[in-house]
Chains A and B, each alone.
Chain A
Amino acid sequence: MSRTHPSEEVLQQFVLEAVTCSAEEISHIESCPECQSTVATYKVLAGELAGLAAPAFDFDLVAAVIGQLEEAAAPQAKMPKGTIVLIAAFIVIPLWLFRKSAYFVFTDMSAVFYGLVFAAAGIVVGVFLLRLYKKYQQIINLINE
C-alpha cells in the first residue's frame, strides 16, 4: 500500500465510479482505515442525495403549457375589436345614408371611379395584412428571444 492518501477527489471517484480509479489507488483505499472512513461518509451522502424528494412544479405543467400555446396562437387569427367596428362603420353608414340612390351607384359610376374604389380597397386590405404580419413577427421574436 502506498503511504500517501489519494486526494479527496479520488475518494469521491472511488464511491461514484471506481472503474476510473487506478489499481494503486484502489488498493490503498481498500486497506487504509482513514480513507475507508471518508469513503463511508461519501457513500452515505450519495445514497441520501439520490433519495431526496424529486423536485416538482406546484401547478399542472401540461395544462399551463397548452394554455400558453393557445394564447400565443390566438393573436394571429383575432382581429382587434376596434378595427372590426371601424370597418363595419365604413360600410354600414354610407350604405344607410345613400340607401335610396344605391341602385344608381352601381349603374351610373364611371370606369375610372370603379378603378379608384378597387385601388382604395386594395390599399386598405394591404395595410391591414402588413400590420397583421408585423404583429405575428413580433410574437415570434418574443418567443425566440
Chain B
Amino acid sequence: MSQQLKHTLTDRQLVDLALGGDMHGFCCLVENTERLVAQIVGKLIQAEEDRKDIAQDVYLKVFRNLKGFKFQSKLSTWVGQIAYNACLNRLQKQQLTIYGPPERAAEDETDRLLLQKELKVLLAAELARLPPIYQTLIGLYHHEELSYLEIAAITGLPEGTVKSYLFRARKQLKDSMLSIYKKEKL
C-alpha cells in the first residue's frame, strides 16, 4: 500500500495495520498525530531538551496500549490524552505547575516588538506569557480546531472549565493587544 493511501485510512484501519505488525502503519499513526502532540508537548513543556524524551514516551505508550484502544473516541483524541498526561506526570515530578506563569517567561519585549508592528509577532509573544494550560487550550481550539468536548476529553477537565479558561485566555490576549496599540498611539 502506498504511503499516500495510508494517510487516508480510517482510525480502525490504521490500528489494525499497526497491530498486524505493519510498522509503516504505526509510522503513519505517528505522522497523523504529530502536530497535535507537538502542540500539547510544546506548550506544556518549557524545557526543549525534555520534549523529545516525552514525545518518545508518548508513542511507546501508544504502541504498547494500542490493543486496548476501544474506539470510544477518535484515535487522535486518545493519543492527545496520553500526551497530556505524560506532560502532567513530567511536570509533577519537577514540581512545576501548568497554572502559574510559564517557567521561562518571556522578557518584557513589548517595546522592541512594537517596532516590528507585526501583530502576529506581538501576539505570539503575549501568548507565550500566559500560563501553560491557557497556551495549550488556545492551541487546541484555535489552531487544531478541536471542539470544547474534544479538548475536555484530552485534558480531563470539565467542558465548562475548558470554556472558562479559554474565555479568560482570550480576554487576556485581547486586553494585551489593546494596551499595545494604545501604547503605540501615544
Contacts and interface: CB of A to CB of B under 8 A. Distances in A.
Contacts of B52: 57, 59, 64
Nearest to A50: B142
A49 B48 contact: no
B42 A55 contact: yes
A52 B60 contact: no
Interface of B: 23, 27, 30-31, 34-35, 37-39, 41-43, 48, 51-52, 55-56, 59-61, 63-65, 119-120, 123-124, 127, 138-139, 142-143, 145, 167, 170-171, 173-174, 177-178
A65 B30 contact: yes
Interface in A28-83: 38, 41-42, 44-46, 48-59, 61-62, 64-66, 68-69, 72
Given A61-B55, A65-B30, A48 B143 contact: no
B59 A68 contact: yes
| Main SS class of interface, A | helix
A3 to B, nearest CB: 23
A68 B38 contact: no
A9 interface: yes
Interface string A4-17: 00001100100000
B177 to A, nearest CB: 6
B120 A9 contact: no
Given A143-B60, A144-B65, A45 B177 contact: yes
B34 A57 contact: yes
B27 A62 contact: yes
A125 interface: no
